[in-house]
Amino acid sequence: MRSYPLLAVVLAGALAMAGCTSAADEPARAAAGSDGGVSGPLCAELPRNDEPGNPNALASKPVDEALSWITVLTTFDGAMRASDLLPELKGKQGITVLAPSDDAFAAKFSQDNLDQLMVKDKDTLRTLLRAHVVDRSLSLADLREAGSVTTLDGTSVPVAAAGAMARIGDEAQTVCADYRIANGRLHVVNHVLGNLPTTAGQGDSGH
């Protein structure tokens, strides 16, 4: 009879442990089911779980809608719209967008230079943006193994593994990779591609 209280304690402890384990595992299971497969150091700063613009919510969106929800791509999104390139991309099936973050644009162009591109030099802007689009859908794993990709401006760009991420060209790396969009993939990168000169910090008019 004296063993029954002991047995009850043991059973209670086992049930408590099971409950704790289940509760501890729940966030991990929830995250695994809601991150949409994206990965990279910048992903934690972007919408996730059930937040508007989370990766799962963007998987069925065309490129123009997806760009508007990724909060670190406001400059790239604005440039895409100013260049009138989005209608062409929406009509393509299976593209990869290598989208520089706002910080990448700020490190590359002065505000005056960026304004000039968006308002007055749209041909140059379109060429620049075409250097960030590949005419086939490539996951992060595909990029890491590809060796090179050819962008819509006709440039062959070397790509390779860089830790768990991918390096594109000499300087750019993916920082939140593997967004699925309706017609392909989108990877946030930390450097502007193409061959335009760097003008950041030069001659801004302060507006």
User: pLDDT digit string (tens) for 1-27?
Assistant: 444 454 444 444 444 444 443 333 333
Q: How many domains does the chain have?
A: 2
Please give the pLDDT value at position 171.
Answer: 93
Separation CA 133–CA 163 (nearest Å): 23
**Mean per-residue pLDDT, 112-135:** 96
Task: Give the neighbor-by-neighbor strand order of the sheet with 184-189.
Answer: 133-134, 95-100, 184-189, 172-181, 165-168, 156-162, 148-150
Q: Is residue 197 part of a domain?
A: no
Q: What's the CATH code of the domain at 109? A: 2.30.180.10
**Mean per-residue pLDDT, 167-193:** 97
pLDDT at residue 182 greater than cutoff 60: yes
Q: Is residue 196 part of a domain?
A: no
- Is the pTM value of this prediction over 0.85? no
Of residues 55 and 33, more confidence is placed in: 55
Residues 76 and 159 in one domain: yes
Single out the residue of 83, 78, 55, 56 nearest to residue 68, CA to CA: 78
Query: Lowest-pLDDT range, 20-29, 67-76, 140-149, 162-171?
Result: 20-29
Q: Is residue 185 part of a domain?
A: yes
In which domain, by residue range, is 180 found?
43-189
Please report which confidence band the pLDDT of residue 35 belongs to, taking 50, 70 and 90 as the band edges.
low
Residues 53 and 29 in one domain: no
